[in-house]
Chains A and B, each alone.
Chain A
Amino acid sequence: MRNVGIVGVGYCPQFVSKRKDVSIPEMISEAVDAAFADSGLGPQDIDAIVFGNMHTFEGVNLPHLWSVEHIRALGKPVMRIATGGTTGMTAFHAGYYHIASGLHDVVMVVTFEKHSEGDAQVGLLGIITPEAVAMMMAGIDLTGEGGMGAQGGGSAGAITYQAVSWMHKSGATIDHIDAIAAMERRNAAKNPYAHLKDPEATAEKIAKTPMISYPVRYGHVCPTTDGATVCILASEEKAAKIADKVAWVWGVASCASDPTTGNLIEGLITDPAEQMQCVIAAREAYKRAGIEDPKREIDYVEIYNGFAHQTLMYLELVGMCEVGEAHKLLEQGELEITGRLPVNASGGVVSTNAIGTSALNRVTECALQIMGKAGERQVEKEVHKALAHGWGGLMQYASITILADKPKKL
C-alpha cells in the first residue's frame, strides 16, 4: 500500500467548440506542457503514461500511438484506458494503481477529446448502432413502446426517463433544474478553462431555452468541446520533493451495472435514476478512504453532470445529502461557491464537455480546490477533503475518487 498524490495539473489553454488551429496530437501537447509547467517536472521525470479518450469521436484508433512524441512518451510504458464517459477518471485510477502497486513512482495521465472533428451523436449512438441496425434488419420495430432510444435521439432520449424518475423520487421540479444549470454557467464564467460561460445566467434565462423532451431543455445539456487535460501523480516520497501543495488520493472505486437503455426490445430493465452502481462505488470509495460520515467529512464535490439535473441527483446518490434534500440545499444557496456544500465551482460538465477529459476534470478541479489553486472559482470554505464523481456508457458506469489535503495514514 502506498500513498499517491496529485502534484501537477495541466489544461490546454482553451476549451472551446472548435480548435481549428491544431491537430489532435498538437492539442494534447499543450496540456502536457501546462502540466510540466505546473509541476516543474520534465519528460525525464515521468515513469509511465496513462492515456484515455473516446476515439469514435475523432475516428482515430489507439491515438496514443500517433501522439507518442507529443506526449513525450518515447521508450516509456504507455497504457490506454477507454471506458466511455468515465474514461478521464478510470485513466486516473489506472495511473493511481501504477504507483500504488509499487511499480512506478511518477505517472502522467493524459486525456483529450476533439469533438469538432467528428459527429458527437455518432460517437454516442455508436454504443448501440450495430445492435439497432441488426434488429431493424431482422424486422424488429424499434419505435414502438420498447423503442426508448429512438426518442429524442442519442443519450438525450434516455436521460429524460432518468430526470423524470428522479424528480418523482425527490420532489424537485424543472425549476430546480433550471436553477442548478444557471448556477453552474455562472460558476463557469470564473473558470478560464470552461466552455459555456454566462456570468449573468439565471433560472429564467435557462427556462426560455427550447424544450428537447420534458424535462430536458436545451439549456440543461452539456456542449461538445475540444480540449485536453493532463494530471501528474507521484508516490508519497517523490511528491514531497516535487510540490508544496499536493492533493492526496484517499480512495478510488468503480462499478458497472447493466446497460439500462440498450435493451431496445424489452424497454427499461432498471430505473435509470436508481444508479445502483454509483451508490456501490461511492460506498466502496468511502470505505477505502476511511470516511464514515461523508456529509460531515467531505467539503467539496465535483459531479459529472452531462445534464443539469444530474448534479442534484448524484449529490444524493453519493450520500452527500438525503434524497429530496439536494434541491432544498440549492434553494438555500448552499451549493454555491460561497455555500456550505459547494458543488461544481468549475461549471461542471454541463459547461464543458470534452468527453475524454470530463471525468478527469472532476478530479483535477477537486485537486485545485484542495491545493488552493482554483483562482477565481476557489470556494470560500476550507477544502480538506473532496469527492469527484463520474458516470458513463448507457448510464451504467460509475467512478468515484476521494482526495484529501494530507496523506492517508496507512
Chain B
Amino acid sequence: MAGKVAVVGLKFACAPDLKTTRERLVFELTRGLFDELGIDRHEVDTFIMCSNDFIDGRTISTVFLDAPSGAYLKDETKVEMDGLNALIYGWMRILSGQYDTALVVSLGLTGSQASPYLNIQYSLSPTYERQVGLLNELAGAALQARSYLSRSGYSEELLDLVAAKDLQLAAKNPRQGRRLEAVDVDKVRSSDYYYEPLRELHCYPRTDVGCVVLLASEKKAAELTEKPVWILGAGNSIETYFYGERDLSRSPSAAEATRRACSLAGISDPSKEIDFAEVSALFAHQEPLLAESMSLIPEGEAEKAYRDGITGPGGSMPINPSGGSLGGHTVCAGGLLRLCEAVLQIRGEAGPVQLEKAGTALVHGQDGLCAQQNAVLILGA
C-alpha cells in the first residue's frame, strides 16, 4: 500500500443552534481553514461531500454546497453515511496516487433544522417496520441497553456513570454543543425516562454541526502543517438489518471494523497499544458496549472500569475525553466530530480536556439503528 496519508487541517462548529444557513456554514468553515493553512481551493485536489438528503430536506443535498466549499469546477463526490466513511474515501483517493489532497466537507443541522430521529425512521423498511410503527431510534436503543445490561450483569447505574463522565467533560470542552452546569449522576438520574432504561441525559442531544477535514499525502503534508496526524488504518463492517436477529448486547460489526483497522495499523492488542478513543456512542450504554466489542476494555469488566476511572481522563483507557456524542452529535458529521477531537488531542491542542498521553487514537463512527454499521480509524502522531 503506497505511502501514508495525514490529517493536516480541520475546522468545525458544534452548537444546539448555529443560527446559520447550510451554505454560509460550509463557506465559513472551508474559507476559514484555507486562510489558516495559507492555501486556496486550488490546492485541494478532490472534495468529498457528506450530508444526508432526508435530514437536509433536499435531493442531492450538496448541490448548493459545492460552490461555497470551493469545489466549483473541481473534482467532487458525495458519500452519504457517517463522515468517517467520507474520510476513508478521501484516504483511498490519495492512496491511489492520483491525488495529493482531499477535503471532506460534512454537516448536519439536526439542532435547528430537522429532527435527527428522522435519519433512522426513514432508514426503516417502508414495508414492515414503518407500517407496524413500533420501532424507532430511541426504542431500539433502549432494547439494546437492556440486552447489554442483562447479558453483562451490569446495573442501570452504569448508564448514569457514563453519562455523568461524558457530560462533565463536555461542560469543560468549549468546542462541545451540550455543556451543562453541575452535572453529576444525580442530575442524570433525575432526567425523564424516554424508553426505560434510557433517560434524556443518557441520549445524544439535538445539535447543529459543520465540519471540514483536509487530508494530504506524505509529501504534501509537510508543506501544510508541522503536526500531521497519520491515518494508520481503517475498517468498516455491517450487521444484518433484521433487528430481531441481532445480538443487541454486543457489536460484532464494531469488532470486525476494529480488527480490520488494527490489522492495517499493525496493532495486535488495542487495550495496550491505543492511548485513547473517541467513540460515537449515541446513548450512554453504547460507550461501554462498543468499548468492549472494540477490545479496548475486556468483556465483562466495563462497569468496574467506569467505577475505577479507567475510562476517565486520568485512567489508562480514556474514552471520549472530549465528552463524546452525548455532548453533541449529528448524522454524517458526527463521526468527524470525534475524529477532530482525537486529532486535537494528538496535536496537544485539546485545551481544557487535553490528555497527558495522546499518541495513538481509535476513532469510531456509526450508521443505522443501534450501530448496525460501524467505521473505525486508527490515528497516530
Do chains A and B directly touch (beta carbons under 8 Å) in the complex? yes
Which residues of the partner chain A approach B256 to less than 8 Å between Cβ atoms?
Answer: 75
Is A254 a contact partner of B59 (Cβ separation < 8 A)? Answer: no
Q: From residue A80, how far is it (CB to closest CB) to chain B in Å?
A: 5
Is A223 at the interface (CB under 8 A from chain B)? no
CA distance A103 to B2 in the complex (A): 10
Complex-state Cα separation, A1 to B3, whole angstroms:
11
Alpha-carbon gap, A126 to B54, bound state (A) = 10
* Contact residues in B for A84 (Cβ distance below 8 Å): 59-60, 63
Extra inter-chain contacts (7) besides given A61-B121, A100-B92, CB under 8 Å: A23-B127, A69-B242, A75-B253, A81-B78, A100-B96, A102-B1, A123-B59
Across-interface contacts of A81 in B (CB, < 8 A): 77-80
The one of A62, A76, A129, A276 in contact with B123, judged by C-beta atoms closer than 8 angstroms, is A62
- 26 A-B residue pairings within 8 Å (CB atoms): A1-B97, A2-B96, A59-B126, A62-B80, A62-B81, A65-B373, A68-B241, A68-B372, A74-B238, A77-B236, A80-B79, A81-B80, A84-B60, A84-B63, A97-B93, A97-B96, A102-B96, A124-B59, A127-B58, A128-B58, A131-B58, A256-B73, A256-B74, A256-B76, A258-B66, A284-B75
By size class, the interface of chain A is 35 or more
Q: Cβ of B309: which chain A residues have Cβ within 8 Å of it? A: none
> Is A66 a contact of B92 with CB atoms below 8 Å?
no
Tell whether A364 is near chain B: CB-to-CB under 8 Å. Answer: no
B57 within 8 A of A: yes
Within 8 A of A (CB), among B89-110: 89, 91-93, 95-98
CB contact list, B116-150 vs A, under 8 A: 118-119, 121-127
A residues 276-299 in Cβ contact with B at 8 Å: 276-277, 280, 284, 288
Point out the residues of chain B lying under 8 angstroms from A255, CB to CB.
73-76
Check if B72 is an interface residue, CB within 8 A of chain A.
yes
Is the beta-carbon distance between A262 and B63 smaller than 8 angstroms? yes
Q: B80 to chain A: which residues have CB within 8 Å?
A: 62, 80-82
Q: Does A385 contact B (CB under 8 A)?
A: no
Kindly state the separation between the CA atoms of A89 and B231 in the bound complex, as whole angstroms.
27
Of chain B, the residue at the smallest CB distance from A256 is B76
Q: Quote the shortest CB–CB distance from A141 to chain B (angstroms).
A: 21
**Across chains A and B, which 6 residue pairs bring their CB atoms closest together, nearest first?**
A61-B122, A126-B59, A101-B95, A101-B92, A100-B96, A77-B236
CB distance from A345 to the nearest CB of B (A): 28
Stretch of A210-218, A326-334, A388-396 with 4 or more beta carbons under 8 angstroms from chain B: A388-396
The closest CB in chain A to the CB of B91 belongs to A101
Q: A78-B373, A101-B93, A255-B74 are in contact. Are A65 and B58 (CB under 8 A)?
A: no
Q: Looking at the assembled complex, report how far the CB atom of A236 sits from the nearest CB atom of chain B, in whole angstroms.
A: 14
The residue on A at minimum CB distance from B60 is A84
Q: How far is the CA of A80 from the CA of B80 in the complex (A)?
A: 6
The interface of chain A, by Cβ under 8 A from chain B, is 1-2, 23, 54-56, 58-69, 73-84, 90, 93-94, 97-98, 100-103, 123-124, 126-131, 253-259, 262, 276-277, 280, 284, 288, 392-394, 396-397
The answer to whether B373 and A103 touch across the interface, beta carbons within 8 angstroms, is no
What is the distance, in angstroms, from A287's C-beta to the closest C-beta of chain B?
Answer: 11
Q: Which A-chain residue is minimally distant from B5 (CB atoms)?
A: A101
Whether the pair A83, B240 counts as a contact (CB closer than 8 A) is no
The verdict on A76 contacting B237 (CB below 8 Å), with A61-B122, A102-B2, A255-B76 known, is: yes
Residues of chain A lying within 8 A (CB to CB) of residue B93: 97, 101
- B76 with A66: CB separation less than 8 A: no
Q: A23-B127, A62-B367, A255-B76 are in contact. Are A101 and B96 (CB under 8 A)?
A: yes
A392 and B123 in contact (CB under 8 A), knowing A62-B81, A74-B239? Answer: no
Please indicate the chain B residues that have their CB under 8 angstroms from the CB of A58 in the complex: 126
Chain A residues whose C-beta falls within 8 Å of the C-beta of B88 in the assembled complex: 79
Q: A54-B60, A256-B76, A284-B75 are in contact. Are A102 and B125 (CB under 8 A)?
A: no
Known: A23-B127, A66-B125, A254-B76. A61 touches B119 (CB 8 A): yes
Contact: A262 with B77, CB < 8 Å? no
The answer to whether B73 touches A54 (Cβ under 8 A) is no
Question: Is B52 an interface residue when CB atoms closer than 8 A count as contact?
Answer: yes
Say yes or no: is B235 at the interface (Cβ < 8 Å to chain A).
Answer: yes
**B222 within 8 Å of A by Cβ?**
no
Q: Is B39 in the interface zone, CB < 8 Å from A?
A: no
A74–B240 touching, CB < 8 Å: yes
Query: 1/0 contact trace for B232-268 toward A, CB 8 Å?
Result: 0001111111100000000011001000100010000
Which residues of chain A are within 8 angstroms of B124 by Cβ–Cβ distance?
Answer: 66
Is residue B196 within 8 Å, beta carbon to beta carbon, of the partner chain?
no
Q: How far is the CB of B5 from chain A (nearest CB, A)?
A: 10
Complex: A126 Cα to B371 Cα, angstroms = 29
Query: With an 8 A cutoff between CB atoms, is B356 at the interface?
Result: no
Instruction: Say yes or no: A127 contacts B122, CB within 8 Å.
Output: no
A262 to B58, CA, bound (A): 12
Q: Is B29 an interface residue (CB 8 A)?
A: no
Which residue of A54, A60, A65, A102 contacts B126 across the interface (Cβ within 8 Å)?
A: A60
B350 to chain A, nearest CB (A): 30
What residue in chain B is nearest A77 (Cβ atoms)? Answer: B236
Q: Which residues from B are CB-within-8-Å of A78?
A: 236, 238, 373
Q: Is B85 an interface residue (CB 8 A)?
A: yes
Assembled-state Cα–Cα distance A130/B73 (Å)? 25
Instruction: Collect the chain B residues with CB atoms within 8 Å of residue A131's CB.
Output: 58, 64
B81 touches A256 (CB 8 A): no
Contact A69 B241 (CB under 8 A): yes
Bound state CA distance, A80 and B238, in angstroms? 12
* B32 at the binding interface (Cβ < 8 Å): no
Q: How far apart are the CA atoms of A172 and B59 in the complex, in Å?
A: 33
Q: Does any Cβ of A come within 8 Å of B294's Cβ?
A: no
Q: Which residues of A contact B174 (CB under 8 A)?
A: none
> How far, in Å, is B234 (CB) from chain A's closest CB?
8
Known contacts A1-B97, A23-B127, A55-B54, A65 near B72 by CB under 8 Å = no
Interface residue from B92, B123, B237 paired with A98 (Cβ < 8 Å): B92
How far, in whole Å, are A262 and B65 apart by their CA atoms in the complex? 12
Task: From the candidates A79, A124, A126, name the one contacting B79 in the complex (CB within 8 A).
Answer: A79
Tell whether, in the assembled complex, residue A258 and residue B119 are in contact, meaning their CB atoms are under 8 Å apart: no
Contacts of B253 in A (CB 8 A): 75
Contact status B75-A253, CB under 8 Å: yes
Bound-state CA distance A316–B236 (Å) is 41
CB-nearest residue of chain B relative to A82?
A: B80
Residue in A closest to B56 when the chains form the complex, CB atoms: A130
A-side contacts of B76, CB under 8 Å: 254-256, 397
B63 touches A394 (CB 8 A): yes
